[in-house]
Amino acid sequence: MKCIVALAMVFSFVFASSVHAQECRDQMILAAHERVMTAGIDTTGHWYAISQPFESMVGLIIDGRPFGPYESALPPRFSHDGGAFVAGVKTLGQWSVLTSIDTIALSGDVLYDVRFPALSDVPWWHHANGQDHRLSTRGKTYTCSRSPQMLSLDPSGTVAAWVESTSAGELLMRNGQEIARGEQLLIAGVWSDGSVVYAVRFGNVWSVFVGTREIVRSLLSVGEFQTNLAGTSCGFHAADATGLARMYVYTADMQEPWMSQPCENISGFVLAPWEPLAAAIITRNGNRSVSFQGTEYPAGQQTGPIGFTPDGSTMMYAGFDGEHFITLNGKQHRVRGAVNLRVPLSIDQTGTSAAWASSTTLAKANLEYQVLRLGKMCDSMLSVVYNRRKNVFQGLGYMGRHLFLLECKP
């Protein structure tokens, strides 16, 4: 009988270890001699590193493929579908735009920024020769009178909007044409129909516009102003003449924006990527909570960043009220272990598992069974993402100057 019990215990230990091994794994992707300076990973699973193979040169590595060496390099960006990348590189004093399919020389210009529109794989870049600033994409260039600020693109990348500062105030530009001016301007983004979403201040009063339509007026402040990924809704929080704050969400088929109940303070406002849904941390009568489209949930003594899953179906945040917890669409799940409240959460597509970057590893919690798994222990851990193409949590970690890719299945 004792032998049977002992064998059962051994079998249970081996089975648990096997399950753990199947759930999480790691792979060294760059050795110490690469001298990695910075690295990052995208929700499509693409990763990059900027290294320093020589004293005065840098290398760019994307998914293990080396580029360079260069005198300098801007971190790459990846398109939403993961099918393309764009980066900035400098060789022999000349900047170029490096893409998945070609290299575009800038003929002596300084390169400041590279990016993709929200739903397009056509890159844009900001470059300049002295005070001559330009915004370019393939076959199209807009000249700016001054350095462009708050560059925003519509999801398809056909409309560019930006702000230029002058001695008399600020100008709102759309595809090279001035469309508004004021003492101060904020751009939230560009909708899918090309309408610029912006706020303008004259004196102490703000108004919010979508294209030529004024949707809110007489505001004392506008904060965390943003447009969703689809370019179909916008949101922000603002204080009115009473000094109280509200959340606002607006879509083109609304007569006027949805507004939350007033409160003393709002922070951490976030808009869902596809639907007109918003959440934020609010304070009312001295009590903190998380407001999700008007419904309030416990925030705890401490609250991590609020976010949405890539498909927008789940609102998520972590908190601490004596114990750590994770809340998904208002349902609270206790976690056996500490959740890093300084970094965003990642949630799988079914909403049953959460992951985050601790200081030393990738941590994954099964929320239904309250089981916590840890990946390889590293010296330091970078961000953790949910790879929406492969249904796996991934993160990058440094161990003895080696760079590791850590993975955990949901």
CA distances from 317 to 293, 309, 375 (A): 15, 11, 22
Q: Which CATH class is domain 300-410?
A: mainly beta
Side-chain half-sphere CA neighbours of 385 within 13 A: 16
Task: Enumerate residues 6+ apart whose C-beta is below 8 A from 363.
Answer: 337, 339, 340, 355, 356, 357, 372, 373, 374, 375
Residue matched to tokens 């980066």: 87
Domain ranges of the chain: 300-410
What's the token pair of residue 102? 């070609």
Per-residue pLDDT of the chain (410 residues), as tens digits, is: 444 434 333 333 333 333 444 689 999 999 999 999 999 999 999 999 999 988 889 999 999 999 999 999 999 999 999 999 999 999 999 999 999 999 999 988 999 999 999 999 999 999 999 999 999 999 999 999 899 999 999 999 999 999 999 988 999 999 999 999 999 999 999 999 999 999 999 999 999 999 999 999 999 999 999 999 999 999 999 999 999 999 999 999 999 999 999 999 999 999 999 999 999 999 999 999 999 998 999 999 999 999 999 899 999 999 999 999 999 999 999 998 899 999 999 999 888 999 999 999 999 999 988 899 999 999 999 999 999 999 999 999 999 999 999 999 99
pTM reported for the whole predicted model: 0.90
Q: Are residues 227 and 189 in contact, defined by beta-carbon separation less than 8 angstroms? A: yes
Query: CA torsion, points 29, 22, 334, 265, in degrees to nearest 10?
Result: 30
Percent helix, percent strand, percent coil in the chain, to nearest 5:
5, 60, 35
Which tokens is 65 given?
């493929």
Q: What single letter denotes the amino acid at residue 205? A: V
- Provide the β-strand partners of residue 105: 96
Whole-number Å distance between alpha carbons of 69 and 34: 12
